[in-house]
Structure 1
């Protein structure tokens, strides 16, 4: 890595990024060791960030965590809808390229929430639309994002069988949904790099989706394409490659990389 042109700014951002990746507040010495920075510099920068509200100091525990100003940055990110603005042109290009409908969705609890919906001309109507929620484990978008979650987070979302909703029970599902079945399906997704579903949302339609990952590897969103369940193998292959490429492009863009 080249030396930063503004070391103090670089160190400040590295500290904030490190704090954001931790499960809870951490000691300043731990931050300095993890980032390879002088302790004195870390203490000075933390003091300034504390004054500005970006970190909070827990004196009894001698630890530092993210402050309210850091949360406000996150809220600003949500208000400006960069995922929607950056993702819509990519989804539109997918639709033009494949002639099939495309979507951009985010994970919201155990559901996917659709932010972008681009319908291809003369294609079947879909239940998904902007603002619609569907059970994540039934959709290609949802499976792509669930596969990127840590095991503990996944287990917290699906603690028992009651957590699994089904749209067509007994019709398209080979077996009842359980946590073991979900884990097996997500292992397949991780191995393939993309997720698929076949008739589990709408009978006769299938989808492929890929996760959009943030700088910490967290699933920020997913891009998917829907087509007829009996579509030609060439179309399925083209859709798989296209959503993978689009998701990778959006992953770079939300990190500020072209």
Structure 2
């Protein structure tokens, strides 16, 4: 077996383990990764020696090891998504003349991780580090629209989960589902005065290699300055970022 196929198979196993809620038995890893038993066994032992996998002998199961956690922590420290998005976001602002930002989902909130403010435009509440209710923001809706319905239902299980800012926006799970369905059909999400009175936003999700929404690109503008070309420009930037992180559109 050459080095490249071996590395690919090992990464396939790690990706599968990372997507499981609990450690799993050998047979399940074999089936999911489409590998022979002997190959799976040898790969797991090699990854155990390097600390990427742990073997829970009493349970006859395998899970992620500390080295896998260190990889994830390193990713967070290096902020690759923000670095990759900085130039495309600046070009987007130059193109549309409005402020743009990049946000990620944290529970029922979106966290703004990058902002590029257009010259002469008023300050926004979307500074880096700010969190806002996901169901009210275009960024949050763009991400939520592409999540499994069961995950959305788990996030918004009680009326108290629907925080209000300006008196606008969905107040129930049914109302939110309608908003998200509209966003999926259009290919982009919007909000109008639901975060800040007088301002509106349009957003499109950035997808990873599994077509999972990992972030959203958005542009915020005065409500009376709506322009159909804005959604097209935001979508183009989101597609560029999707490609940059080896995703698919």
Same fold (TM over 0.5): yes
Matched, 1:82 2:76: no
8 Å Cα contact 1:112-1:141 kept in structure 2: yes
- 1:117 offset after TM fit, Å? 1.1
1:153 and 1:135 mapped to 2: Cα distance?
16
| 1:13-92 mapped onto 2 (5 Å cutoff) | 13-92=11-90
8 Å Cα contact 1:21-1:216 kept in structure 2: no
1:199 and 1:219 mapped to 2: Cα distance?
24
2:29 and 2:131 mapped to 1: Cα distance?
39
Q: Give the one of 176, 188, 191 matched to 1:194.
A: 188
Q: Structure 2: any 5+ residue segments left out of the alignment?
A: none
- 1:226 offset after TM fit, Å? 0.9
8 Å Cα contact 2:29-2:40 kept in structure 1: yes
Runs of 4 or more above 4 Å deviation: none
Partner of 1:124: 122
Partner of 1:105: 103
TM-score where L is the length of structure 2? 0.93
8 Å Cα contact 1:112-1:135 kept in structure 2: yes
8 Å Cα contact 1:208-1:239 kept in structure 2: yes
TM-score where L is the length of structure 1? 0.90
Cα 1:217/1:24, change in 2 over 3 Å: farther
8 Å Cα contact 1:141-1:223 kept in structure 2: yes
Partner of 2:221: 227
The count of aligned residue pairs is 248
Matched, 1:213 2:207: yes
RMSD: 1.9
Q: Structure 1: any 5+ residue segments left out of the alignment?
A: none
